[in-house]
Amino acid sequence: MTQPQLHSVTGIILAGGRATRMGGTDKGLVELAGQSMVDHVAQRLAPQTGALVINANRNRVAYEQRGWPVVPDAFGEFAGPLAGMAAGLTASTTAWAVTVPCDSPLVPPDLVARLSSAVHADNADLAVAWGAGRMQPVFALLPRRLLPDLEAFLRDGGRKIDQWYARHRVAQADFEDCAEAFLNVNTPEDRDALEARLTRLEAPGAAQPGEL
């Protein structure tokens, strides 16, 4: 299998959830250290990809102001990450796509490179990140050729991401050296704690972001 290259990968930011633990507030638009979480994610992901797409089921105008295509779920609103992945793949014009959630603003700067190496090394269908002691299923590199199979799975009522992955050969990319990159901001308390840490990083003599 040819290893995916930057120009052949679209970044899909998944921002289509209900955010119940955030009080229903659209997490992608929650401000963190002076900018929205979706902007934090995009700034880290854009240099690794040839294009970006945002999957969102509300506040479309606010997301479109970023200048990237915004696509809603096609299998019912708030149908889970697989529906968001399918929406993003549908909007993508590249052979590959990488998916990341909007509530994990510390995206690794080499996410795509490591996922790409893993899928190539294992001759796999797709690659998923492994960090913080477990699989991180929404940090994934997917080929667009799997879109028909994903859509069929969703039409049949499938929603569980691990069940769909089980239909394919999955490579795992090791990110244990930067496990905190997969930190999720699920609650206002999570947001406040991460903002405090990011603020400290900006202080003179502080550690660099990659050392989080």
What residue ranges do the domains of the chain occupy? 6-204
Mean pLDDT of 56-72: 95
DSSP 8-state secondary structure symbol assigned to residue 2: P
Widest Cα–Cα separation across the chain? 54
Q: Residue 45: how many CB atoms within 10 A of its CB?
A: 22
Whether the CB-CB separation of 119 and 74 falls below 8 Å is answered with no
pLDDT in tens, 7-37: 789 999 999 876 555 667 899 999 999 999 9
Output the six-digit token pair for 208: 């660099």
pLDDT in tens, 157-195: 999 999 999 999 999 999 999 978 999 898 889 999 999
d(CA 211, CA 208): 5
Superfamily of domain 6-204: Spore Coat Polysaccharide Biosynthesis Protein SpsA; Chain A (3.90.550.10)
At residue 207, does pLDDT exceed 80?
no
What pLDDT, on the 0 to 100 scale, is given for residue 210? 46
Bridge-based pairing state of the strands 96-101 and 134-143: antiparallel
At residue 39, does pLDDT exceed 80?
yes
